[in-house]
């Protein structure tokens, strides 16, 4: 069932929902830490630490990271902070599919797409050995000996091109065995997959046994194309969904503009036009766009959590405030009547 009490932030921060059929239960609201890896701009150490400290003080207890974020930088920052906290008081998930290595020529190494990050090259590896090495590297970078769940990361044709089928075969033939062994041994409690595209949600996730998926782009206030396909398949199979980019990588937080980001790139003219239309309806109903973006996906019965990112303390506070704002039912009805969201998309009810 979808969440009740949307506007009670304490409820959202403390409420736990079970991941698939596992023993793991995660809070409804967490922290996606990719931006601490310096995707769009540099984040100095003091700001990163203060941001994590603010998240903790405001009650956030679920943190998600990945080796790819800042080429290891995010793992160091998140782990360095969480090492100071009791392990029983937080939830931590990370991802597999890349191992990190010293570049051949460090002085000329290109860290893109990260503006900052660390000087480590990446190797894609979805095999048994690759997953085990990635898992061990992550624990060592973070300085934490236990994670709650591991996710297959970025197994998408748009990323791998002609190597896609090879990586998929490696996952099916041996990578999943590594994850299943880690789960059966108690090293982890759940197996997930991090997904950026509707194609991956529709085509790849059904090919392996998963407890949950972490969806970045396919289900947001801007795009519900997966509602009747991938999201429906997850519901039918009892696979939980975590929404990793409720702001669609930026534009639903910042609004449209020359540098507004959608799908981790500058937003197209079409996307900017739709966001302007969403903004117009928001103004009419006195609703903030970020509040609508955060609250919308939680209404879907398969969604157990949202994990927006932040690069400074004020963004953490703003996100929590957006969750506490009341949105009238008439607003959601207006979005549907104007064709701005799918007419059968689940929408929040007043708490």
H-helix or E-strand containing 261?
Answer: strand 261-262
Known active-site residue 183: no
List, in sequence order, every residue forming a beta bridge with 99; answer none if it has no partner: 123
Tokens read off for 61: 């207890």
Known active-site residue 64: yes
Query: Are residues 175 and 209 in contact, defined by beta-carbon separation less than 8 angstroms?
Result: no
CA nearest to 254, candidates 285, 271, 275: 275
Known active-site residue 57: no
In order, the DSSP letters of 279-321 are: HHHHHHHT--HHHHHHHTGGGSTTEEEE----SSHHHHHHHHH
Annotated catalytic residue: which of 63, 95, 135, 263? 95
Look at the block and give the residue holding tokens 């739709």: 274
Annotated catalytic residue: which of 62, 69, 91, 128? 69
In order, the DSSP letters of 119-149 are: S-EEEE--SHHHHHHHHHHHHHHHT-S--SE
Q: Is the dihedral of CA 159, 67, 168, 148 positive or negative?
A: negative
Tokens read off for 232: 């429906």
- What is the rounded distance in angstroms from the CA atom of residue 268 to the CA atom of residue 186? 45
Tokens read off for 165: 């089928």
Annotated catalytic residue: which of 6, 62, 63, 64? 64
Give catalytic residue positions.
64, 69, 95
């Amino acid at each position: 069932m979808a969440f009740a009490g949307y506007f009670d932030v304490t409820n959202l921060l403390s409420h736990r929902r079970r991941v698939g059929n596992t023993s793991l239960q995660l809070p409804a609201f967490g922290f996606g830490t990719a931006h601490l890896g310096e995707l769009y701009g540099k984040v100095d150490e003091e700001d990163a630490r203060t941001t994590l400290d603010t998240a903790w003080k405001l009650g956030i207890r679920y943190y998600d990271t990945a080796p790819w974020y800042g080429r290891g930088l995010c793992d160091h920052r998140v782990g360095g902070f969480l090492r100071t906290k009791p392990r029983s008081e937080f939830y931590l998930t990370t991802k597999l599919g890349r191992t990190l290595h010293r570049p051949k020529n460090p002085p000329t190494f290109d860290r893109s797409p990260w503006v900052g990050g660390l000087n480590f090259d990446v190797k894609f590896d979805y095999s048994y050995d690759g997953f085990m090495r990635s898992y061990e590297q992550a624990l060592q970078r973070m300085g934490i000996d236990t994670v709650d769940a591991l996710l297959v990361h970025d197994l998408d044709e748009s990323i791998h091109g002609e190597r896609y089928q090879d990586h998929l075969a490696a996952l099916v033939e041996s990578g999943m065995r590594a994850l299943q062994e880690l789960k059966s041994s108690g090293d982890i409690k759940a197996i997930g997959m991090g997904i950026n595209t509707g194609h991956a949600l529709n085509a790849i996730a059904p090919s392996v046994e998963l407890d949950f998926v972490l969806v970045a782009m396919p289900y947001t206030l801007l795009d519900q194309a997966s509602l009747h396909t991938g999201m429906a398949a997850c519901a039918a199979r009892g696979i939980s969904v975590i929404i990793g980019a409720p702001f669609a990588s930026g534009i639903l937080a910042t609004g449209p503009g020359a540098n507004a980001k959608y799908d981790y790139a500058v937003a197209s003219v079409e996307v900017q036009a739709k966001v302007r239309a969403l903004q117009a309806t928001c103004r009419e109903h006195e609703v903030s766009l970020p509040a609508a973006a955060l609250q919308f996906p939680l209404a879907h019965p398969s969604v157990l959590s949202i994990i927006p990112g932040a690069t400074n303390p004020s963004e953490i506070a703003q996100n929590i405030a957006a969750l506490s704002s009341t949105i009238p039912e008439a607003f959601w009805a207006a979005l549907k009547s104007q064709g701005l969201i799918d007419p059968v998309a689940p929408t929040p009810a007043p708490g």
